[in-house]
């Protein structure tokens, strides 16, 4: 008879646990313990696949950018940058010119004006990869043009430039 009691208790426990997973117990509404359903959802492999799919951003390439302003992220490699000076007006600093490559080896020239250099200059590193977004798009210059791309990327006060550490294999290191 004693052997029947333990076998009845374990069979009753799973049914109680499964009903608790569906609806929280009404006896303690202020309980801070996590529900079994939430714990199961967090631990399930499907939730990890979903969170990984949401966390992976999609990047535009430079050829797809149109309009006057781009909010979408673009993954670029900073190949080179240098000071742009106006020698006709006392050698004043106008800003930095940038050479940028995207994942399909599209090259574009970028520009950071002198009044915005304090924000971006400390983070500029040659051959680094950046997630660039919220920038202006202007037609490429005809004078002092470096690449044949139709546009130039101009940094604004809203531009975000975040270094990406694990995207090194996605973008070529040079273009000839």
> Do 129 and 170 meet the contact criterion of CB atoms below 8 Å apart?
yes
pTM above the 0.75 mark? no
Torsion sign, CA atoms 107, 108, 114, 116: negative
Domains of the chain, by residue range, sit at: 4-55, 62-164
DSSP, collapsed to helix, strand or coil, labels residue 34 as coil
Provide CB contacts within 8 A for 157, sequence distance 6+. 116, 119
At 24, the pLDDT band (50, 70, 90 cuts) reads very low
Asked if CATH classification 2.40.50.140 holds for the domain at 62-164, the reply, yes or no, is yes
Which tens digits make up the pLDDT trace of 111-126? 999 999 999 999 999 9
Sheet holding 160-164, edge to edge: 69-70, 135-139, 151-154, 107-113, 92-101, 74-86, 128-133, 160-164
Count the helices and strands in the chain (H runs, E runs).
4, 8
Strands in the chain per DSSP E:
69-70, 74-86, 92-101, 107-113, 128-133, 135-139, 151-154, 160-164
Which tens digits make up the pLDDT trace of 153-167? 899 999 999 998 876
């Amino acid at each position: 008879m004693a052997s029947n009691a333990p076998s009845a208790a374990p069979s009753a426990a799973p049914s109680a646990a499964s009903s608790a997973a569906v609806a929280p117990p009404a006896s303690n509404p202020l309980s801070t313990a996590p529900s079994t359903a939430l714990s199961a959802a967090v631990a399930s492999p499907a939730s990890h696949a979903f969170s990984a799919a949401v966390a992976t951003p999609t990047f535009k390439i430079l050829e797809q950018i149109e309009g006057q302003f781009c909010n979408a992220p673009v993954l670029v490699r900073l190949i080179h940058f240098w000071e742009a000076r106006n020698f006709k007006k006392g050698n004043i600093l106008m800003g930095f010119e940038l050479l940028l490559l995207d994942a399909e080896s599209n090259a574009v020239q970028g520009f950071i004006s002198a009044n915005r250099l304090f924000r971006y200059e400390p983070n500029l590193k040659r051959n680094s990869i950046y997630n660039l977004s919220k920038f202006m798009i202007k037609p490429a210059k005809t004078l002092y043009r470096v690449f044949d791309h139709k546009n130039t990327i101009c940094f604004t006060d809203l531009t975000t430039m975040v270094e990406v550490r694990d995207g090194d294999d996605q973008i070529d290191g040079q273009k000839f």
